[in-house]
Structure 1
């Protein structure tokens, strides 16, 4: 009797183990054509974060080329996975309204503008997102992706241009414009320096570290190691979906590491990080994205926010921020923002940031207090 009982328990254990093994295998990936692929780990990372959306299609097609439009949308998904939405997409007349990913590309353009303004510390009239898409327009018409003498004010990018395969040089151009705010914050530019910075790359005449290209964009982002450290860049080869998955994963790791690292650096860098966190939290609140908002703001602070929001916005990234370390705890940071409202007048909001690993910034807003000034 005891042997039969033991045998029964053994059979049950094997069955349970096999069920969990099947479930684990199913959770591993939705796609049925990436097992054993050299980029499987990166594809899985992006899929599990919702950056690759399968939409019922079990084929990822890792060795097929990625199109320009899809690449732009994927870059935006990486940005928003790390930071959340920073701005509302604005309709752009230069994008074909029939293209299915149009809104996501417009979201990228809007998010890039906030990243530039926050990292430079002032509102820019320069539009890096517009320039990025304009360069794709130039490339589609057989021209170099560089500053032109005269810009056609009626330029636009039709759907076929966005469906073209994306070359490695075009990928480097897109990523340069996305990452340029991180390069600019190091030099702490004045308002007139920003356009000169971009013009300097579009008129590049310096020697490249790569032996097979003089592209300014490949050289400009070499420090981020998104394409690896090879001497050959192979600029005219089209990127496959798997290759771009590797690049996107490296981009995600850089952005995520940078978001939390800034709170450990200079006051200027901490202001940038605090501004981005507040901007993302404000956008999540306005979008009613409760899941994203709760990763940035505690329940108690959300209650305070709800009362304030009836009359006041949570934050504007153009506000002046002042930071002060808590005297009793190194894990706490007080951030005071100065704001102006047409009905209320000038006022301040004081935020308490505390260390918390529920979002990439490594900090959470746990208190919000209003003060007149």
Structure 2
């Protein structure tokens, strides 16, 4: 498979240069291509984007607004109501990954002209998300950016509405962490409130991810929002909130679980086992639990398990894995099994030793089993 970083390639750089040259007769096309493509094969994705940005910086007009107008003219036509983003080069203009360094140019040079910069990013985000670039403007003046975003809430383009949520996420992966919103999450919640029932799943998914970000620093605030938004919620909003609370639910947060009807489990564990009890890296174990309901009413249960992986110096690190969601009837007896594969992954180094498995019901520990792992 071709490396993902190759979305920024010589062909893309030449396409950007060709489109800019059409609208700026002083543009040094050859110099831009040389600077933007220098040693490209040795650079990672964000480094490639940064190098293209620097080439734009050296070759676009020195007047900021004039440079932005040139970039604006290079943009490919879009269907204003479509959620689709096209990543292939278009003879009619620029779209897809090429927008990323262009958006950085607009934001980084527009810190003293924020409202104008936002008007350009609004157009760019329709062709590729400006969620990374807008964060530079937020750092400079969060109140001004929020005020502008409020005027976009009814925009017909779903990419613009999504940017309102995605661009202000406090902990966006790959993006600058927004300390102002980590400290004061209320600054963005009014925006999320307006978007929670958006017609677009694409937008609602961003709202869910934004709330999940907030939950990492303000768990009870997100639980409170969830409880309020669940009142008279349709299926789409319920789906949004479950996705928003996925981190809290995986942690066994009792407030988040209770909001969705997952209360203290009333069960008796009859048996819990793991088989085999000794394996080598690359093999698997089967976890089995048998339980019976002690409740007089049906129970909604989330069954998870946490594997305590051995680390260096005898320490362990637990990782929670999803198992099953079920409804257990009064006095019902149930046996469940789950296969867990222990295979090499790039994100974890395995060590020999005992690996405990905690079996969890609605975040509560109900049984512990263990197996020995042998790593050559």
- Decide which structure has the larger Cα Rg and report it: 2
Question: Which TM bucket (shorter chain)?
Answer: under 0.3
Higher strand residue share: 2
Structure number with the higher helix fraction is 1
The structure whose RCO (Cα within 8 Å, separation 6+) is larger is 1
**Normalized against structure 2, the TM-score is what?**
0.26
